[in-house]
């Protein structure tokens, strides 16, 4: 599941949302940019922020997403 060196990627995907105060007949198309830190046959694991040099007491990063591969509209690697 994990990768040696995470790749920076752009992902456009269909989001599954809670339909509160919105039309349930439409889904949201969203975009995300981050480091692809792992994947399975069904999922992508995208980290959207990380420390350059973590502090000794710092916990693992919290801002991350799991995106279903079946909902990916477009994905491309971002060259550094």
Are residues 21 and 80 in contact, defined by beta-carbon separation less than 8 angstroms? no
pTM of the predicted protein model:
0.76
Distance CA 1, CA 14 (A): 23
Distance CA 38, CA 66 (A): 10
Residue 54: the pLDDT is 81
Tell me the per-residue pLDDT of 22-57, one tens digit each, with 9 for 90 and over. 666 667 889 999 999 999 999 999 998 888 888 888
Which H or E run contains 61?
none
Distance CA 52, CA 47 (A): 13
Beta-bridge mates of residue 7: 36
């Amino acid at each position: 599941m994990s990768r040696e060196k995470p790749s920076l990627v752009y992902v456009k995907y269909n989001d599954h949302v809670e339909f509160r105060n919105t039309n349930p007949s439409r889904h949201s198309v969203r975009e995300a940019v981050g480091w692809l830190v792992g994947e399975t046959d069904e999922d992508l694991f995208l980290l959207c922020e990380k420390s350059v040099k973590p502090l000794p007491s710092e916990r693992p990063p919290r801002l991350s997403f799991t995106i279903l591969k079946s909902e990916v509209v477009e994905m491309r690697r971002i060259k550094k």
